Structure 1
Amino acid sequence: MENDFLTIALPKGKLLIDSIQRLSRIGIDCDHVNEDSRKLFYDLPQSKVKIIICRATDIPTYVEYGAADLGIAGKDTLLEENKDVIELLDLKFGYCRFVVAMPEGSVPPKLPNGEYDLSGLNHQRVATKFPRVAETFFSEIGMQVNPIKLHGNIELAPCVGLAEMIVDIVSTGKTLRENHLVEVAPILDATSRLIANRVAYRMKYERIMDIAGKLRNDMNEVANEGGSST
């Protein structure tokens, strides 16, 4: 029956390999899902699963509108897109951090607690791919900023006077250092999440929770193996 099938949206790019590995470990045959292929749709009848490959930022939209029953998306994308989906599970991969960063020569002074004093940044311009995240962060500390949305090369904006600061995601901080930017405030940590369409969650509850449960058990087993080896 078609109702037995689940459509799962996976992200293009660096998260796809981890997503395929996780699904394969719980018995979903992803051998033919190739991160180097241009193919965007895979029918896996033995696993009763259909895989679609999307841009990471589009996955919450596919899931919200029911084009996919499940999806794997970064918490950063979920916060920015703010779609009406159910967040089922933190998959613990694709780790990155949201930060506020500024040029080395214009960092604010530090407070007695060691944190940077951000008060002088009120009403300043912030370049970011994530205007909603940026506005929410500054609003929560009682400040307003003027977001400038960019789609790439965020680090360039302060160098050419487009913005006084940036809000971006970082993994190691290497790109910030190479562009003479300093992290002045952490915002939050982000990892990949398993999300579900609300209607599918009700109609295909047992199947969806079976997959979520297997993914959770797999993560626990991997964590236990890692802990026993130390």
Structure 2
Amino acid sequence: MPQPLIIAVPKGRILKEALPLLARVGIEPEAAFSDEDSRALRFATNQPHVSLIRVRAFDVATFVAHGAAQLGIVGSDVLMEFAYSELYAPVDLGIGHCRISVAEPAALAARDDPRGWSHVRVATKYPSLTRRHFEARGVQAECVKLNGAMEIAPLLGLADRIVDLVSSGRTLAENGLVEIETVAEVSARLIVNRAAFKLRAAELAPLVERFREQTAAPRAA
């Protein structure tokens, strides 16, 4: 009996867009996957040897990199932060579009000139990516690691600025913050464990190709 194939999918914003894509590839989760009261993390699918695990976005990359899952769907922001050498990201899925931006209070932005920065104190869940971004500009970044509620950090004096995901910008505006520069554009990627891709190429290569085909296929209006 073949080993089960496990696909890690993220909770949150990407999942809603990922489910129709999975269906077009031929993978549909069991009914319990849609049960908001369910505490289960692993789910069967209509494919007997394929199951899904639903975990935090940052953990998708970790599960796949360490071989606990063979494939995953995750934002490119996570890949840029962790840069796991064990991961292969063959397909930009064209979903989950947003950006990573630097933001600061509107009052500060009105008198601020980013070209004059030499040192910044930043609240972010992307310390590695943030440091690289500022180092490339010759700016020293002191990063305060937070996992959420980033927008309140400047209001409470924890940091002058934040680096975070931005989609519509509404959350920033409601907390008195404005974007001042974009660090990177973000979209969701299909990721594969490199070792698994070599050892189970007969299973994984056709599946990766189906994702590529469905991502490239024009959608009906």
Q: What is the TM-score of this pair, normalised by structure 1?
A: 0.87
Residue 104 of structure 2, aligned match among 102, 105, 121: 102
Q: Structure 2 length as normaliser, TM-score?
A: 0.90
Matched, 1:32 2:31: yes
Q: Tell me, yes or no, if the aligned pair for 1:26 and 1:215 is still in contact at 8 Å.
A: yes
CA distance in 2, matches of 1:139, 1:63: 29
RMSD over aligned CA atoms reads: 1.9
**Is 1:56–2:57 an aligned residue pair?**
yes
| TM superposition shift of 1:48 | 2.5
Matching residue of 1:78: 79
Paired position in structure 1 for 2:2: 2
- Measure the CA separation in 2 of the matches of 1:166 and 1:52: 31
Superposed, 1:1-230 pairs within 5 Å as 1-3=1-3, 5-32=4-31, 34-35=33-34, 36=36, 37-44=38-45, 46-84=47-85, 85-107=87-109, 117-223=113-219, 225-226=220-221
Unaligned 5+ segments in structure 2 are none
Query: For the residues of structure 2 that align with 1:98 and 1:46, how far apart are their CA atoms?
Result: 36
CA contact (8 A) 2:11 2:57 kept: yes
Question: Which range is displaced more, 55-64 or 74-83?
Answer: 74-83
- Matched residue of 2:26: which SS? coil
Identical pairs, percent: 38
Q: What do residues 132-176 of structure 1 show as CA deviations (whole Å, max 9, x unaligned)?
A: 111111111121111111122111111122211111110001111
Cα deviation, 1:87-138, whole Å, max 9, x if unaligned, reads 11111111111111111111266xxxxxx84133321211111111111111
Distance 2:199 2:142 in 1: 43
CA distance in structure 1 between the aligned counterparts of 2:149 and 2:55, rounded to whole angstroms: 22
Deviates more, 1:49-58 or 1:193-202: 49-58
* Kept in 1: contact 2:29–2:44 (CA 8 A): no
Q: 2:39 is aligned with what amino acid?
A: R
Residues 29, 47 of structure 1: 8 Å contact kept? no
Residue correspondences, number: 218
Q: Point out where structure 1 has 5 or more consecutive residues left out of the alignment.
A: 110-115
CA 1:45–1:25 in 2, change beyond 3 Å: closer, same or farther?
closer
| Deviation for aligned residue 1:20 | 2.3
